[in-house]
Amino acid sequence: METITIYHNPRCSTSRKALELLRAQGVEPKVVEYLKTPPSVRELEAIARASGEPLRALLRTKQPEYMEQGLDDPKLSDDEVARAMHATPVLIERPIVVGPKGARLGRPVERVLEVLG
Each residue of 23-66: pLDDT tens digit? 999 999 999 999 999 999 999 999 999 999 999 999 999 999 99
The amino acid at residue 73 is: D
CB 96 within 8 A of CB 105: yes
Catalytic residue positions?
12
What is 5-115's CATH number, 3.20.20.140, 3.40.50.1970, 3.30.420.40, 3.40.30.10?
3.40.30.10
Triad 13, 3, 104: Cα angle to 5°: 45
pLDDT of residue 2: 74
Residues across the chain? 117
Binned at pLDDT 50, 70 and 90, residue 1 comes out as: low
Rounded to two decimals, what is the model's pTM?
0.94
* Peptide bond connecting 108 to the previous residue in cis, omega within 30 degrees of 0: yes
DSSP-based three-state secondary structure for 10: coil
The number of helices, as runs of H, and strands, as runs of E, in the chain is 4, 4
Examine the pLDDT at 8 and tell me if it is beyond 70: yes
Closest CA to 90 of 15, 51, 14, 38: 38
> Which residues sit opposite 28 in a β-bridge?
none
pLDDT for 69-117, tens place per residue? 999 999 999 999 999 999 999 999 999 999 999 999 999 999 999 999 7
